[in-house]
Amino acid sequence: MGPLQIVWFKRDLRVIDHQPLLQASQRGPVLPLVVIEPLQWQQADVSARQWAFCAESLEELRAALAQLGQPLVVRIGPVEEVLERARCQFGIAALWSHEETGNAWTYARDRRVARWARSHGITWIELPQFGVIRRLPSRDGWARRWQARMAEPLSPAPRALPPLAAIDPGAIPTATDLALIEDPCPGRQQGGRAAGLELLESFFRVRGARYHRELSSPATAYTSCSRLSAHLAWGTLSLREIAQTSRGRRETLKALPSSERGEWLRALRGFEERLHWHCHFIQKLESQPDLEFRELHPLTQDLQQNNPEHLAAWSEGRTGLPFVDACMRALMATGWINFRMRAMLMSVASHHLALPWRQSGLRLARLFLDYEPGIHWSQCQMQSGTTGINTLRIYNPIKQGQDHDPNGAFLRQWLPELHGVPLVHLHQPWTMALVTQERIGCVLGVTYPHPIVEPASAAREARQRLWARRQELGFGELADAIQQRHGSRRSGLAARSGGRRRRPGGSTATNNGVTQLGLDLGLP
């Protein structure tokens, strides 16, 4: 067959707007390859629910490539070993892929592949997939570059791929093949581009009309949010095509009479803002890979402590704080929860329960079908108060429930043991008298747990810990350096010497404009 152009698919499982595939097809026969590495699927931040979505997306990608002439080739094992066998068997003209800002494991893997390619004189062409910029020297001008990338034309699929009849396509492994722990998720979204396109259409035509009003409540967010985040995380849709679809819809709406637009324009502005922040946060991990493990601000280390009992109660939705437990159980069952509730879950874990952000972050990473390392770890640190540059935000889980589930429908859906609790007590069942508990069949400590912490005092203690750190000598100077490296240039924040805003008590605080956005906010 002669040397082949190998297109290495990773988290970009599509043929539309896939520049590596298009460019490789213009240079010779293409081997479209995905390598499933069992060791990757044994890492602490992945799960069987994520694999199920990925496997469905791979099946659809294989069919799409087969229609072009050459189906997807699947191999299992370390990628450099798979590539070495390909080099020995038929030769490699070039290796093509998208750039990936993944976790530490994929970063180390890519460095190994780069060394392998150099050792054999093979060119590895990595092309950008998002608005993230590799080897970015400064954040200055980053937003303009992001806008320019989103405006680039979508790449069409190749016209045809010559079939490689001598190459066995290989089987897509099962979760059992990968030794993944059983992970029931009955409400999980379907993988594959077709499901993503269906969501795209329904959001921009119907569901997104009240996005800006209904994205914060879990009672409405499952319908009014785009639900595209998993498709973006696995690349069945591209960020560029989502952004351009939104902008096209906005231009169409502008031509309509105001009476027919409703609130669509405001909804779309809010949605597009979050597309921008998607890459803003991934850029942080791209520029500083160790933020997955190490506090962004070094003086925030050791703010939290190990407590296995608290971690287990929080992870399983049995803290005795109803809105926290309902959100966690909904996430466990569906693989998704809206951005504000993600932020609240992380805030409660870090502040009220004083759990290390890495521990609780790993638990959430496995539950999120749309886990995106760059967004996830940046947000875990932000909600935990370890960035040093964001306004401290300690969510009140009782108030969050009262504000975003005032009639208790969401609580009763996910906490059936509280079904008979009167609404006046629902968000704080410990306020019920024992005789009332016995009468309705919901006795705290038996039917539903007592709160594992007293919310108000736990929040007060957390606030004192955090502000004590921010008042330490040198904290502000380090925060300035972090802001310069990672902060949004649209925030308009002055440097410390230029009169940075101060909080009562002399401690500094900054807000780079994203404290409200929550975890994995790219497409809530």
Residue 501 bridge partners (DSSP) = none
Residue 300 Cα to chain centre, angstroms: 24
Contacts (Cβ under 8 Å, ≥6 apart) of 243: 150, 272, 275
Residue 17 φ/ψ region, left for φ over 0, alpha for ψ in the -120 to 50 degree band, beta for the rest: left
Q: Out of 1.25.40, 1.10.10, 3.40.50, 1.10.150, which CATH number does the structure's domain 193-290 have?
A: 1.25.40
CATH topology of domain 292-418+453-498: DNA Cyclobutane Dipyrimidine Photolyase, subunit A; domain 3 (1.10.579)
Q: What pLDDT shows up at residue 489? A: 61
Contacts of 433 (CB under 8 A, 6+ apart): none
Secondary structure (3-state) at 34: strand
Supply the pLDDT for residue 494: 44
What are the start-end ranges of the H helices in 69-226?
A: 79-90, 104-119, 142-151, 193-205, 211-214, 218-224
CATH number of 4-129: 3.40.50.620
DSSP β-bridge partners for residue 96: 7, 125
Cα dihedral sign, 288-289-294-295: positive
- In DSSP terms, 98 is beta-bridged to 127
CB 380, CB 346: distance < 8 Å:
yes
- Per DSSP bridges, beta strands 30-36 and 73-76 are parallel
What's the pLDDT score for residue 2? Answer: 79
Query: In angstroms, rounded to a whole number, what is the distance separating the alpha carbons of residues 363 and 417?
Result: 24
Cα–Cα distance measured from residue 397 to residue 391, given in angstroms and rounded to the nearest whole number: 18
Half-sphere exposure of 313 (CA within 13 A, CB side): 21
Angle of helix 142-151 relative to helix 264-287, nearest 10 degrees, comes to 120
Per-residue pLDDT 10s for the chain (524 aa) are: 679 999 999 999 999 999 999 999 999 999 999 999 999 999 999 999 999 999 999 999 999 999 999 999 999 999 999 999 999 999 999 999 999 999 999 999 999 999 999 999 999 999 999 999 999 999 999 999 999 999 999 999 999 999 998 899 999 999 999 999 999 999 999 999 999 999 999 999 999 999 999 999 999 999 999 999 999 999 999 999 999 999 999 999 999 999 999 999 999 999 999 999 999 999 999 999 999 999 989 999 988 889 999 999 999 999 999 999 999 999 999 999 999 999 999 999 999 999 999 999 999 999 999 999 999 999 999 999 999 888 888 999 999 999 999 999 999 999 999 999 999 999 999 999 999 999 999 999 999 999 999 999 999 999 999 999 998 989 999 989 998 888 876 543 344 433 333 343 333 333 333 333 334 343 44
Best CA proximity match to 49, nearest among 189, 173, 172, 171: 189
- DSSP structure class, residue 92: E
Rounded CA-CA distance 222/228 in Å is 11
d(CA 268, CA 270): 5
Q: 133, 142 in Cβ contact below 8 A?
A: yes
How far, in Å, CA of 61 to CA of 58, rounded? 5
Q: How far is CA 163 from CA 18, 31, 34, 66, 138, in A?
A: 19, 9, 17, 9, 45
Q: Do residues 471 and 507 lie in contact, with contact meaning Cβ atoms separated by under 8 Å?
A: yes
The DSSP-derived string for 11-33 is S---STT-HHHHHHHTTS-EEEE
Which residue's entry shows tokens 């594959």?
192
pLDDT value at residue 391:
80
Compute the residue count for the chain. 524
Three-state DSSP class for residue 184:
coil
Name the pTM for this structure. Answer: 0.92
Residue with tokens 């993600």: 342
pLDDT given at position 304: 87
CA dihedral angle for residue 381, residue 385, residue 391, residue 394, rounded to 10 degrees: 110
Can you give the pLDDT at residue 177? 97
**Beta-sheet strands, E only, within 261-413:** none
Assess contact for 352 and 341: CB atoms under 8 A: no
Q: SS3 of 299, please?
A: helix
User: 97 phi and psi, to 5 degrees?
Assistant: -165, 170
Q: Could you tell me the two tokens for 485?
A: 């490296």
Query: Could you tell me the residue ranges of all domains in the chain?
Result: 4-129, 193-290, 292-418+453-498
